[in-house]
């Protein structure tokens, strides 16, 4: 039984130095309220990576979950594209 929709984001891995954790940057475009120009906004998420399978530069899909630690509330869903 689900209690609502799970948030899913797509971003790029910027760090995998921690054990079972990766840092993913998610970018989005937001229209400026006055000037109507699109501005890029970025947010970094700590992601649970159980098997330490993602590397820096990989494009990944992440999903929201219950808190695992102070900062970690997302899990690795799948690796969309490997870094070259």
Residue 3 has pLDDT above 90, yes or no: no
Cα atoms in the Cβ-side hemisphere of radius 13 Å centred on 26: 16
Q: What was the pLDDT predicted at 78? A: 97
The 10s digit of each residue's pLDDT in 28-80 is 999 999 999 999 999 999 999 999 999 999 999 999 999 999 999 999 999 99
Domains and CATH numbers, the chain: 8-81 (2.40.50.140)
Q: Report the 10 Å Cβ neighbour count for 76.
A: 22
Q: What is the pTM of this model?
A: 0.89
Q: What was the pLDDT predicted at 84? A: 85
| Contact yes or no for 32/65 (Cβ under 8 A) | no
Residue 2 has pLDDT above 80, yes or no: no
């Amino acid at each position: 039984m689900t209690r609502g929709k799970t948030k899913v984001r797509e971003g790029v891995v910027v760090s995998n130095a921690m054990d079972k954790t990766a840092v993913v940057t998610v970018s989005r475009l937001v229209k400026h309220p006055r000037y109507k120009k699109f501005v890029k906004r970025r947010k970094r998420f700590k992601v649970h990576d159980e098997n330490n399978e993602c590397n820096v530069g990989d494009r990944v899909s992440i999903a929201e979950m219950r808190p695992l630690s102070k900062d970690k509330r997302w899990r690795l869903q799948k690796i969309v594209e490997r870094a070259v």
